[in-house]
């Protein structure tokens, strides 16, 4: 009987599947999850660190007291640049996470893709927000403090106009960021070896941001926003830290999949 030359070989046109936990095609998802988790946690830490330096003595809705405090701050522009950098790192983490989750079967692909798009829009809005709050408002309150006579009232009115523009931009940025977190949270809960609770906490933090957006749009920086703001901060710290620990514990060869 004539021997078949193809015995033991893969059929033509088909490659043998990668074997072993070290296969390159399988290590990439785990590495991407670790990168996403690291960026997300680093972005939160950077944002909180910059926020500590933000003047908080006066009520933000008491414009005379708040503007006086802002004018006296020498770190104002730098603090807001730091906050923007923190948000940029956080959004980079969401982008990497959403891209990695794109291959998860079920509903995860479309939620991950929409979440990634929303995250990109949130970063664009945040850049505009920090340009208004971190630069335009600072120069406006400085001009108000330096003005004298009838010009002082005009300068104060101009500063309030910028403040109200800030309310609008922060409101919509919170809506869009919240939507991104909710969408990506639902995608995360379908990923193998990532605790489902991380996805639910991520979605809850998104809901907190949506609530913040509604309150700021209606009342500005009022006391009504205290609870949703604190809830959003606590939740995002918890789930980013949990995701980071979970990603570091993953064995190198495991990839995402349905739970």
Domain coordinates in residue numbering, the chain: 25-249
pTM above 0.85, yes or no: no
* Angle (nearest 5°) at CA 141 between 137 and 142: 115
Are the beta carbons of 206 and 235 closer than 8 angstroms? no
pLDDT of residue 106: 55
Which residue shows structure tokens 């970063």? Answer: 123
Mean pLDDT by 10 residues, the chain (259 residues): 47 42 49 92 96 89 94 94 97 93 68 93 97 96 94 96 97 98 91 84 97 95 93 96 88 45
pLDDT of residue 142: 96
pLDDT of residue 168: 97
Are the beta carbons of 43 and 239 closer than 8 angstroms? no
Q: Which two tokens stand for residue 104?
A: 């998860």
The b/e string for 115-139 (b: 16+ C-beta within 10 A; e otherwise) is: bbbbbbbbbebbeebbebbbebbbe
pLDDT of residue 20: 42
pLDDT of residue 89: 98
């Amino acid at each position: 009987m004539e021997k078949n030359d193809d015995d033991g070989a893969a059929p033509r046109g088909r490659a043998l599947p990668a074997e072993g936990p070290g296969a390159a095609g399988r290590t990439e998802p785990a590495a991407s999850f670790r990168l996403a988790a690291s960026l997300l946690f680093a972005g939160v830490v950077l944002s909180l660190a910059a926020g500590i330096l933000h003047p908080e003595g006066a009520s933000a809705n008491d414009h005379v007291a708040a503007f006086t405090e802002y004018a006296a701050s020498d770190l104002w522009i730098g603090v807001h640049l730091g906050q923007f950098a923190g948000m940029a790192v956080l959004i980079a983490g969401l982008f990497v996470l959403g891209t990695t989750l794109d291959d998860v079967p079920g509903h995860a692909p479309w939620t991950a893709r929409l979440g990634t798009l929303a995250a990109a829009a949130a970063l664009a809005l945040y850049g505009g927000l920090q340009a208004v709050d971190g630069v335009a408002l600072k120069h406006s309150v400085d001009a108000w403090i330096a003005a004298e006579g009838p010009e002082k009232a005009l300068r104060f009115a101009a500063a309030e106009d910028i403040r109200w523009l800030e309310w609008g931009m922060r409101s919509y940025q919170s809506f869009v960021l919240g939507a991104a977190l909710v969408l990506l949270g639902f995608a995360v809960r379908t990923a193998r070896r990532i605790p489902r609770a991380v996805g639910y906490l991520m979605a809850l933090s998104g809901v907190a941001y949506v609530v913040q957006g509604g309150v700021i749009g209606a009342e500005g920086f009022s006391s009504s926003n205290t609870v949703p703001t604190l809830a959003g901060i606590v939740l995002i710290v918890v789930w980013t830290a949990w995701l980071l620990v979970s990603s570091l514990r993953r064995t190198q060869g495991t990839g995402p999949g349905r739970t």
